[in-house]
Structure 1
């Protein structure tokens, strides 16, 4: 693990502070919220996640062969304690803040460990479960080295959007984003380790 926190990063105000959120309206009712330097204790959260999450490697069928998934994974399901108390606070704060739009709390926390620039996630939307037919939200907290989240409309006709996710940043994809847009974290020539924690409502994958 060779990630080092930036000395110039802004100090977070706390997970109950949603001032400074910037919302980007996309097409067909999709949107993305970005709040920089939102998560407190991001260095400690990163270290605890690396050490304490029971990371697993997966292999998946890809056409006529089975390939390694280019990142490590673990999901905390309903009722399972999260590996850092700040993440518990973050989930509760997100549930309270977005409940008027979402109508329900965030329940699960999927974790992805991008070990270096060779780890990635291909174009997809979270459309297994209710996200295929209903508006929903996925709230992403990023810790570690910055990586770029790319978004593009499924139907074409609009420019792709790129959001850099820095250490302690919050990115929320909402509205119709999961079914009308796709997102990806592509490979890069060089990057340090990064962990993404994705908070979701029940039955959104």
Structure 2
């Protein structure tokens, strides 16, 4: 996993047990970004991520969506699934991961993680454009979004809101954890760009607080 940016600040969280068969979150590395934003990284947090990928790929009720863009309807370039607050997650490990994240980040702003969204990037043609999770409460308040990645690594980039080149470049897959916090959703954008390189499939699992999408 590579991070490319200037003015980094890394800090390691205090050791604690996450429970439920998951490794502790003591290896989290924090990078402080501009404008009150930060990201936490923990490579390879999930145990047996390849088995989890296979389970999710085969059992999640994936759906293809269409959206209107430039006065025409186009297909969303990835498959999607959503689990609300009362929905059972598609694998027990994800429920344990959400509990561990809520314990670790209880003192941070944004409230506990309650909903889950899944994206299935089948190959390099699947992507998500530059955006921030600014619908609802995320538009006006600091919040957090946690992303677990399983399958083959894909690039995820971040840049300050308003455009310009990416200032942070990550390669996420194989059980990696990324948490975006502080003002990140309001003041930064993130994207998974298309690529012409041959890449395998990746699934991302996003945990969000209530009222953030």
TM over 0.5: yes
Unaligned stretches of 5+ in structure 1? 1-12
Question: What pairs with 1:9-88 in structure 2 (closer than 5 Å)?
Answer: 15=22, 17-88=24-95
Question: Matched residue of 2:105: which SS?
Answer: helix
Change (3 A) 1:197 1:159: closer
| Aligned residue number for residue 195 of structure 2 | 188
Q: Aligned residue for 1:7? A: none
Residue 144 of structure 1: aligned partner: 151
Partner of 1:130: 137
Which secondary structure state, in structure 2, belongs to the residue aligned with residue 203 of structure 1? coil
Give the ranges of 4+ consecutive aligned residues of structure 1 lying more than 2 Å apart after TM superposition: 13-16, 155-159
Evaluate the alpha carbon distance shift between residue 52 and residue 159 of structure 1 in structure 2; reply closer, same or farther with a 3 A threshold. Answer: closer
Cα distance, 1:48 vs. partner? 1.0
The CA deviation at 1:103 is 5.6
Say whether residues 1:112 and 2:119 are aligned partners. Answer: yes
1:159 is displaced (CA, Å) by 6.1
* Alignment partner of 2:170 out of 157, 163, 169: 163
Cα drift, residue 166 of structure 1: 2.3
The answer on 1:201 being equivalent to 2:209 is: yes
Aligned length: 193
Distance (whole Å) between structure 2 residues aligned to residue 94 and residue 62 of structure 1: 36
Q: Do the aligned partners of 2:67 and 2:73 also contact (CA within 8 Å) in 1?
A: yes
RMSD between superposed Cα atoms in Å: 1.6
* Residue 102, structure 1, aligned to residue 109, structure 2: yes
Unpaired segments of 5 or more residues in structure 2? Answer: 1-18
